[in-house]
Amino acid sequence: MAGLTWLPFLASSLLMMVSLFQSSQAAGVAVYWGQNGDEGSLADTCASGNYQFVNLAFLTTFGGGNTPVLNLAGHCNPGAGTCTSLSVEINDCQNQNIKVLLSLGGAVGNQSLTSADDARQVANYLWNNFLGGQSRSRPLGHAVLDGIDFSIESGTGLYWDNLARALSGFSSQKKVYLSAAPQCPFPDADLSTAISTGLFDYVWIQFYNNGQCQYSTNADNLIAAWNQWTSVHSNQIFLGVPAAPAAADGGYIPPDALISQVLPSIKSSHKYAGVMIWNKYFDSGYSSAIKEQVAASSPSIAPGSGSPSSPAGPHSGRKKSKNLRVKLYVVGAAIATSLAALALLFWCCKLRKRKGNHRNFMGSEMPELDDNEDDESLFFSFTSIEIATDHFSEENKLGQGGFGPVYKGKLVNGLEIAVKRLNRMSGHGIEQFKNEVKVISKLQHRNLVRLLGSCLEKEERLLVYEYLPNNSLDSVLFDAAKRNILDWKRRLKIIEGVAQGLLYLHKYSRLKIIHRDLKTSNVLLDADLNPKISDFGTARIFGENEMRGSTMNIVGT
């Protein structure tokens, strides 16, 4: 291991560079644009240098079988196809490192999702028409927006979490940024479930139109509500304010009061990321007055002065943009170099893999998988799983299998998981554990429960699976209240899904596996009642070209 003594130094250097990169991303200002034809063009909005985020407002109607309606006031007419001209302006904004998102919602229109499947259809529409997908009729032309903003003010409040998950799923192709604009009373009636998924990159809270948590003569109620909101699963939270008294029914904060009374308090939170302004039409100088203090590490007000510093000169924004661009290039190059070095290190370690033990991410030694192919699973640290399951609490216990209990957990990124904690005295030894990881990691099918990773640390042996909210098929079939949701159409779909999963196991997987323990309790249902086979029981494993069993092991119990 002497040749790897430089690893801690490299890792530390990379962390420092990442920290530098993060610190270079100062807090910023977000604005809503598109609700008044007299507010100026999108190009002028971005060229002002006042904003780091622009939300195009709004897609007012969608879901529930409704034809989607884009309403950008007097800027263009989507029905006549004139909004495609915005494509050039969107690209221009993005070239200035400004993120442009499409905002869903608004106070008019019809925004409602009727089911998880409806949410998935809306996500597909958004991906193909505004994001990285393909469609013949893209309302904004060929421009690819950076993400989707949830500004929901009507509907049932249901299935927004499903929409967030579906949109987030496209990030494997191109990052889809998600933002939400909840009302300041905590938690928000419409968006709390969606925000709790932890999938939202930005949360800009509307501290206006709500007397109990908005600014009046002092900031006490606002600060109290802000402190509640910092508990949500998002690392970047924005203070939402109206740009002028006429922009909202209460909650306007004069720039000097924002700088002297509000910013010093909310900046103490590490989740503070800036200010969101409603909206561009009413912003006749508000953003210019506050942007320096919003981005500053701490407010710098001259003694005895209750007003913000004077706006910067006409060339200061250009200088700062250039300096930031240079800094990003330098930091990006350094990170790329370090990542290349880490990749080389990883390759070297893979060459040495079969010579002995290797180490997991927590530093403890891990036995080798006796396999001629690369291990495809992700190793979790025991600490991360312990936190996710609340120290394997009884409240999170889902059930008891033949080789140990199963727990529900939630990772720090909001992902829900199911953790199988194998009994130390179950007879499920290291070889069986290694075999299970090896086999299940090779199985990728929509009708099989997906293995997310494993942990073999100290004396603990854990398997981490995707969590399926509707439990097992038998729990639905034999529940008088639930069985009615399984009409014959759904039952046929479940039968077909199970058959597809078995066909994959028996014929098309790289290792041929006979389940040998298939029953309704071993068929789990996802949020849309799609079946996924679990608990492979005593499985017989075949090589790709073999017709007889090559080994006998416990897999997936």
153 given a catalytic annotation: yes
Question: Phi, psi at residue 488, to the nearest 5°?
Answer: -65, -30
Q: What is the Cα Rg of the chain in Å?
A: 27
What amino acid is encoded at 433 in this protein? F
Kindly name the residue from 39, 153, 436, 457 that is annotated as catalytic. 153
Measuring CA to CA, which residue among 432, 443, 431, 437 is closest to residue 375? 437
By C-alpha distance, which of 360, 551, 541 is closest to 460?
A: 360
196: which DSSP letter? T
> Using CA atoms, how far apart are residues 355 and 229, in angstroms rounded to an integer?
51
Q: Which of 381, 358, 509, 394 has its CA nearest to residue 441?
A: 509
Round to whole Å and give the CA distance between 495 and 531. 8
Helix (H, G, I), strand (E, B) or coil at 290: helix
- Burial code of 354-393, b = ≥16 C-beta within 10 A, e = fewer? eeeebebeeeeebeebebeeebebebbebebbbebbeebe
- Type of residue found at 183: Q
Rounded distance between C-alpha atoms, residue 91 and residue 89, angstroms: 5
Q: How far apart are CA 96 and CA 102, in angstroms?
A: 18
Q: How many CB atoms lie within 10 A of CB 98?
A: 20
d(CA 311, CA 309): 6
- One-letter amino acid for residue 119 of the chain: A
Q: Give the integer Cα–Cα distance in Å for 309 and 297.
A: 15
54, β-bridge pairs: 31, 100
**Token pair for residue 414?**
């909001």
φ/ψ of 138, rounded to 5, equals -95, 120
Main-chain dihedrals φ then ψ at residue 422, nearest 5 degrees? -75, 135
The answer to whether the bond into 187 is cis (omega within 30° of 0) is: yes
Q: Residue 381 and residue 397: Cα distance in Å, rounded?
A: 20
* Residues annotated as catalytic (active site), given as ranges: 153
